[in-house]
Amino acid sequence: MNLEIIAQLTVLALIVASGPLVIALLAVRKGNNL
């Protein structure tokens, strides 16, 4: 595998993983007012 492919996969993985994390942080900041 090329370093470019590995870099692209890592970036995509970070974006996919950061999605739920951002939503969770926003929920915590709101005080979990569901």
Q: What angle do CA 2, 14, 21 make, to 5 degrees?
A: 170
pTM metric for this prediction: 0.54
What tens digit of pLDDT does each residue of 5-25 get? 999 999 999 999 999 999 988
Q: How far is the C-alpha of 14 from the C-alpha of 20, rounded, in Å?
A: 11
CA 20 to chain centre: 6
Q: Is the pLDDT of residue 32 over 70?
A: no
- DSSP letter (8 states) at residue 31: T
The predicted structure's pLDDT at residue 17? 92
